Amino acid sequence: MAKKHISFTLNRQNIDVLVEPRELLIHVIREQLQKTGSHIGCETSHCGACTLDLNGQSVKACTVLAVQAEGGEVLTVEGLLQNDKLHPLQEAFMQEHGLQCGFCTPGMLMRAYRFLQENPQPTEAEIRSGMAGNLCRCTGYQNIIKAVQTAAKNMASA
Ligand code: FES
Ligand code: FES
């Protein structure tokens, strides 16, 4: 099938890339654009390891075609770092030990990023529900929830 040029912003930079109509966004981001922070776990929309931000919404990039990003804004975990400064969520995940192997972490961070934009002062139950689409095999979730709570507190007082 004929390839197609698509343009979008990736972490605030303009991107133009040639893709096949059947190619998934996660593959283009990782393989062509070399942003390997977003991980591939299940490839069936269950685990959330591939979660990134597309046009202000959390998406699981293993179930989004790259052509759907045309003209859009994509933010990956690499884009959370600004002016060499970690995002408060990244700081909080470190502080609260919100990770062990780290495989789920980029997806967790990107989901938490969008979740806190939508709900800056969530209850614990709201965090659990908001993060329910992201699976972790290591942490038992307690410290991930704590990290999101800490980030919310720090962002509110910043
Ligand atoms: S790799 Fe996309 S949800 Fe698991
Ligand atoms: S820290 Fe290992 S899968 Fe979450």
pLDDT at 1 over 80: no
Number of domains comprising the chain: 2
Q: Mean pLDDT over all residues of the chain? A: 97
Query: In CATH, what number is assigned to the domain containing residue 57?
Result: 3.10.20.30
Mean pLDDT of 151-158: 95
Mean pLDDT of 40-64: 98
Write down the pTM of the prediction. Answer: 0.97
Residue 147 and residue 105 share a domain: yes
Residue 65 and residue 13 share a domain: yes
Coil, strand or helix: which one is 27? helix
Report which ligand 2 atom has the smallest distance to the Cα of 108: 4
Mean pLDDT of 20-45: 97
> pLDDT value at position 74?
98
Residue 83 lies in a domain: no
Instruction: Specify the residue with its C-alpha closest to ligand 2, atom 4.
Output: 136
Residue 35 and residue 98 share a domain: no
Cα of 26 vs centre of ligand 1, distance in Å, is 9
Residue 54 lies in a domain: yes
Q: What is the DSSP string of 47-104?
A: S-TTEEEETTEEEEGGGSBGGGGTT-EEE-GGGG-BTTB--HHHHHHHHTT--SS-SS
Residue 127 lies in a domain: yes
Q: Which residues line ligand 1 (CB under 6 A)?
A: 40-43, 45-50, 60, 62
Cα of 38 vs centre of ligand 1, distance in Å, is 10
Residue 92 lies in a domain: yes
**12-16, 80-84, 149-153: least confident range:** 80-84
> pLDDT value at position 152?
98
Cα of 117 vs centre of ligand 2, distance in Å, is 23
**How do residues 73-125 score in pLDDT, each as one tens digit?**
999 999 999 899 999 999 999 999 999 999 999 999 999 999 999 999 999 99
pLDDT at 158 over 90: no
Range of the domain at 103: 88-157
Instruction: Specify the residue with its C-alpha closest to ligand 2, atom 2.
Output: 101
> pLDDT value at position 21?
96
Residue 13 lies in a domain: yes
Considering every ligand atom shown, identify the ligand nearest to the alpha carbon of residue 111 and give its number: 1
What does the alpha-carbon distance between residue 158 and residue 26 come to, in Å, rounded to a whole number? 33
Q: Considering the chain, what percentage of its residues have pLDDT values greater than 90?
A: 98
Residue 20 and residue 73 share a domain: yes
Residue whose entry in the numeric block shows the structure tokens 């930079």 = 13
Residue 5: exposure state from Cβ atoms within 10 A (0-12, 13-18, ≥19): exposed
Cα of 7 vs centre of ligand 2, distance in Å, is 33
